[in-house]
Amino acid sequence: MAKAEQLNDLLARLDKKRLPAHIAIIMDGNGRWATRRHLPRSAGHKAGMEALRQAVELCSEIGIHILTVYAFSTENWRRPADEVGFLMRLFIQYLEGEVALMNEQGIRLGFLGSREALPAAVLLALAQAQKSTAQNERMLLNIAVNYGGRDELARAIRSLALKVRDGQFSPEHINEQVIGAALDTAGAPDPELMIRTSGELRISNFLIWQAAYSELYFSDKLWPDFNKRDLLTAILDFQGRNRRFGRTEQQMAKD
Ligand code: IPE
Ligand code: IPE
Ligand code: MG
């Protein structure tokens, strides 16, 4: 009961008119969460899936338009094969198990990352989940799997170079908008808020272009422990920030 009241207290403080349109989360700390409980790392990843469910639910409830979560990086292939295999199976399980709820909550599934190197079963589950949720309009949930910001930029630059080579446009037309439109997040606003759990103070190759002006929020909580109240606390912290985008404080006061 006390918990529910606390959530309501936080909700009451939320300025609905100044919500971030796009939140990005680096869901970190699953392994440590499990190890502290003398459990295999896989148990941490499972618990992390439940935390994701809570985060998605809260974002759709309060009216966040886009939630982008980092689930597996291009660097995570360096982990032991059994952990990589478990994560791929868990991802399939999440996609298959979540579609009904996503349709209920009006959530469309998006994907960030390179499809190359992903197992066929993952690609199939992904395609099915995307197809089945394509008409939903309340919120976009982007899952970043086999995603790296540098890889994304390399793929974008390659696609632009091919267009130049084929005479579709000239190098002079390459600007920030053109690059943004060639990224996996094409068409979406940049995340105003980027959250990382587990106390690590780095972005680990996540959205390196799009996060140029994101407000960063670091939580010491491990991802499976990060609950709706923690997410609301992060959003409230964001609402207290002074975003100047290069201008002076005096200029901001006049606007
Ligand atoms: C985040 O948790 C999930 C993935 C990177 C797949 P970790 O697995 O990195 O957990 P820690 O950082 O080892 O505790
Ligand atoms: C970042 O976490 C990637 C995901 C959360 C999917 P990592 O645990 O892989 O990052 P590092 O290795 O601590 O930088
Ligand atoms: Mg980690």
How does pLDDT run across 108-127, given as a tens digit for each residue?
999 999 999 999 999 999 99
Contact 223, 33 (CB under 8 A): yes
Mutate to test the pocket of ligand 1, among 25, 26, 27, 30 (most ligand atoms within 8 A of CB): 30
Q: Flag whether pLDDT at 240 surpasses 60.
A: yes
State the CATH number of the domain containing residue 38.
3.40.1180.10
Structure confidence at residue 1 (pLDDT): 55
Judge if the beta carbon of residue 200 lies within 6 A of ligand 2.
Answer: yes
Proximal ligand: closest to the CA of 68: 2
pLDDT band with cut points at 50, 70 and 90 for residue 255: confident
Who's near 238: CB < 8 A, 6+ residues apart? 20, 192, 193, 215, 217
Structure confidence at residue 114 (pLDDT): 98
Mean of pLDDT values over 227-234: 98
Is residue 28 assigned to a domain?
yes
Residue type, 191: P
- Count of structural domains within the chain: 1
pTM above 0.85, yes or no: yes
Mean of pLDDT values over 193-210: 98
Is residue 72 assigned to a domain?
yes
Judge if the beta carbon of residue 30 lies within 6 A of ligand 2.
Answer: no
Q: What is the C-alpha separation between 122 and 127, in angstroms, rounded?
A: 9
pLDDT digits (tens, 9 = 90+) for 145-194: 999 999 999 999 999 999 999 999 999 999 999 999 999 999 999 999 99
Structure confidence at residue 110 (pLDDT): 98
Is residue 196 assigned to a domain?
yes
pLDDT digits (tens, 9 = 90+) for 39-83: 999 999 999 999 999 999 999 999 999 999 999 999 999 999 999
Mutate to test the pocket of ligand 2, among 27, 30, 52, 76 (most ligand atoms within 8 A of CB): 76
Is residue 100 assigned to a domain?
yes
Contact 7, 229 (CB under 8 A): yes
Is residue 12 assigned to a domain?
no
pLDDT band with cut points at 50, 70 and 90 for residue 5: confident
- By annotation, the residues acting in catalysis are 28, 76
Q: Flag whether pLDDT at 203 surpasses 60.
A: yes
Structural domain boundaries, residue 56: 20-149+190-240
Residue ID of nearest Cα to ligand 2 atom 9:
76
Mean of pLDDT values over 229-253: 96
Is residue 254 assigned to a domain?
no
Contact 223, 51 (CB under 8 A): yes
pLDDT band with cut points at 50, 70 and 90 for residue 4: low
